[in-house]
Amino acid sequence: MRDIDHFIGGQTVVGTSGRYGDVFDPNTGQVQARVQLASAAEVDAAIANAAAAQPGWAAINPQRRARVMFEFKRLVERDMERLAELLSSEHGKVIADSKGDIQRGLEVIEFACGIPHLLKGEYTMGAGPGIDVYSMRVPLGVGAGITPFNFPGMIPMWMFGVAIACGNTFVLKPSERDSSLPVELGKLMMEAGAPPGVLNVVHGDKEAVDAILASPIVRAVSFVGSSDIAHHVYATGTSTGKRVQAMGGAKNHAIVLPDADMEQVVADLSGAAFGSAGERCMALPVVVPVGERTAATLREMMVPAMAALRVGVSSDKDAHYGPVINGAHRSRVEDYIQMGIDEGAELVVDGRGFQLQGHEQGFFIGPSLFDQVKPTMRSYQDEIFGPVLQIVRAETLAEAAALPSQHQYGNGVAIFTRNGGAARDFAATVEVGMVGINVPIPVPLAYHSFGGWKRSGFGDHNQHGPEGVRFWTKVKTVTQRWPTGGHELPRGSEDGGPSRVVDSSFVIPTMK
Ligand code: NAD
């Protein structure tokens, strides 16, 4: 059996805790590897490596740090096929989705290549007599990232890309369910020229996370995962004085107005509700058609579109989506489908019991569709995180718009309409962090920032973009006054003519 080891101080490190987690091949349902689960002492060793590397890394000038990021991007692109196959083999998403996962992470690395510009700070000359004020952004020290299973490439790169380019060193604790790709990213960072200890990857579960939260050396923690754990990380981390950003779960709504382009809506929902088996925090698992006719048309068109979806193994180039991450998660999704039935929703398409010929033990689920879902139902209120689409009917735009605003989660939302005024008002007022207008999955580009509201995001700063730079740096402001007098310097002439040296005997001291 293959072991997935830690990567600490630039080296593969075999765990000593004696604890392991199973990593499945979701296509076959078989355990394909075991991942080390670190003890608190092993986490502390990774943190110590990051701390030892940090002063040297921060002392390197920003453009040289950026050059490491440029090279890292080249190396990841060089290895794209291998990395995408590795990701798919542990996660189960189709290869095209794995490449998208890595590519979206690389876009943050591209952003990180330009970070020297964003670290420059501000300057006020002559704030008082002989006084200047300048501010700069300096790294925090050692940062940590704790990431979920569903984007093992993109989300680690959101975090360490920005943190490291800003001069921090990093300890990454990836999901224990698909842990191989993050180790490969750590190795490629070293190959790109990052000194050992700048990026460490330590595997583990709650014990490792709690060790990170307890460490006085770690100055900032970035977390992405489910909301209860996000809240635990936020509350514990901030109580020990850390800066924490903690992104949680989601239940994103698509509002469909009667004037929407229904063909586009159905095509977009097919991808956004079922792509990656619904295991995306920006998936669209709820659709709210406004008016009975809109609902009837949507339902009528959605059923054949779902029948055309091909569920297949992750290497199947024609498959729309693959298996879910493991058997426990498949059971959880199927339990939610049963809950929806028990609560009185109408199950229009049932994806339970789906078996792929030749892969009967794989963790596959067919697409499911519910109609007549009510906001009071728990199957609506909870995140299911599987290939299940729920129709919640509304009579008016106001009724529809209240649903995402009142939901416990506020990650993403989309509105489909040709009415610019309605879309604009909706975007301005909805209580959700990321809004799409005729765009189903409005994930902000790398140079903007990603983050949800309410139980989808705890903390003040979003991921990557300018918000990411603010999160991974602190501001230092210097007010300086130098003795004046005893020398004369060139001054501009009052009539705006050419400057002239008043006392040419004065020599400006040169820097040593
Ligand atoms: P998860 O919460 O189970 O795990 C996330 C991380 O927390 C993992 O590294 C895991 O090892 C660690 N962890 C697990 N149990 C813990 C505990 N008791 N104490 C401390 N740490 C613990 O999430 P997941 O199943 O890997 O990922 C899916 C979830 O992540 C979904 O809820 C999804 O919506 C969410 N997600 C959110 C975003 C976002 O940006 N808002 C993005 C991607 C995924």
Confidence of residue 490 (pLDDT cuts 50, 70, 90): confident
The two three-digit tokens of residue 497, written as one number: 């003519």
Examine residue 488 and state whether it is found in any structural domain, yes or no: no
243, 283: one domain: no
CATH number assigned to the domain comprising residue 308: 3.40.309.10
In terms of Cα–Cα distance, which of 403, 457, 424, 394 is closest to 253? 403
Confidence of residue 488 (pLDDT cuts 50, 70, 90): confident
Place of tokens 């979003």: 462
321, 189: one domain: no
How many angstroms separate the alpha carbon of residue 246 from the centre of ligand 1? Answer: 10
What confidence tens digit (pLDDT) does each residue in 248-296 have?
Answer: 999 999 999 999 999 999 999 999 999 999 999 999 999 999 999 999 9
Number of domains, the chain: 2
401, 377: one domain: yes
* pLDDT beyond 90 at 498: no
The closest-lying atom of ligand 1 relative to the alpha carbon of residue 149 is: 26
* pLDDT beyond 50 at 504: no
Taking the C-alpha atoms of residue 462 and residue 471, their distance in angstroms, rounded to an integer, is 8
Which residue is closest in CA terms to ligand 1's atom 1? 225
Place of tokens 């309410």: 454
* pLDDT beyond 70 at 236: yes
- Whether residue 175 has its Cβ less than 6 Å from ligand 1: yes
Q: Which range, of 18-22, 419-423, 456-460, 488-492, averages the lowest pLDDT?
A: 488-492
CATH number assigned to the domain comprising residue 169: 3.40.605.10
pLDDT of residue 482: 87
- Answer yes or no: are the C-beta atoms of 224 and 144 closer than 8 Å: no
Place of tokens 């006719």: 293
pLDDT of residue 506: 43
What confidence tens digit (pLDDT) does each residue in 154-188 have?
Answer: 999 999 999 999 999 999 999 999 999 999 999 99
Q: What is the mean pLDDT of the chain?
A: 95
Examine residue 489 and state whether it is found in any structural domain, yes or no: no
263, 321: one domain: yes
Which listed residue (8, 118, 281, 337) is catalytic?
281
205, 267: one domain: no
How many angstroms separate the alpha carbon of residue 208 from the centre of ligand 1? Answer: 14
> Burial, 406: exposed, middle or buried (Cβ in 10 Å; 0-12, 13-18, 19+)?
exposed
Examine residue 265 and state whether it is found in any structural domain, yes or no: yes
The verdict on whether 113 is a catalytic residue reads no
pLDDT of residue 466: 96
Examine residue 125 and state whether it is found in any structural domain, yes or no: yes
Mean pLDDT of the region 198-219 = 98
Kind of pairing between the strands at 6-8 and 11-13: antiparallel
Taking the C-alpha atoms of residue 185 and residue 88, their distance in angstroms, rounded to an integer, is 15
Cα dist. 210→155, 204, 465 in Å? 20, 10, 28
pLDDT of residue 171: 98
Mean pLDDT of the region 81-94 = 98
Place of tokens 């290549």: 113
- Answer yes or no: are the C-beta atoms of 42 and 6 closer than 8 Å: yes
3-state secondary structure of 140: coil
- Whether residue 165 has its Cβ less than 6 Å from ligand 1: no
204, 318: one domain: no
What confidence tens digit (pLDDT) does each residue in 427-469 have?
Answer: 999 999 999 999 999 999 999 999 999 999 999 899 999 999 9
Mean pLDDT of the region 201-206 = 98
Contacts of 104 (CB under 8 A, 6+ apart): 151, 153, 154, 443, 446
Mean pLDDT of the region 102-131 = 96
Mean pLDDT of the region 478-493 = 78
Q: What is the signed CA dihedral for 325, 331, 334, 336, rounded to 10 degrees?
A: -100
Confidence of residue 501 (pLDDT cuts 50, 70, 90): very low
pLDDT of residue 505: 46
17, 145: one domain: yes
Among 224, 251, 411, 464, the mutation site with the greatest number of ligand 1 atoms within 8 A of its Cβ is 224
Taking the C-alpha atoms of residue 198 and residue 196, their distance in angstroms, rounded to an integer, is 6
257, 244: one domain: no
Residue-range definition of the domain harbouring residue 440:
253-446
**Which residue type is seen at 154?**
M
- Starting at the edge strand found earlier in the chain, the sheet holding 473-481 runs 122-128, 131-139, 473-481
226, 273: one domain: no
* pLDDT beyond 70 at 136: yes
* pLDDT beyond 70 at 508: no
370, 471: one domain: no
Examine residue 487 and state whether it is found in any structural domain, yes or no: no
Examine residue 292 and state whether it is found in any structural domain, yes or no: yes
Confidence of residue 483 (pLDDT cuts 50, 70, 90): confident
Residue 498 is given by DSSP the state -
Residue 491 is given by DSSP the state B
- Whether residue 147 has its Cβ less than 6 Å from ligand 1: yes
Mean pLDDT of the region 137-146 = 98
403, 464: one domain: no
pLDDT of residue 460: 87
Examine residue 501 and state whether it is found in any structural domain, yes or no: no
Q: SS3 sequence, 42-107?
A: HHHHHHHHHHHHHHHHHHCCHHHHHHHHHHHHHHHHHCHHHHHHHHHHHHCCCHHHHHHHHHHHHH
* pLDDT beyond 50 at 67: yes
What confidence tens digit (pLDDT) does each residue in 303-354 have?
Answer: 999 999 999 999 999 999 999 999 999 999 999 999 999 999 999 999 999 9
- Whether residue 205 has its Cβ less than 6 Å from ligand 1: yes
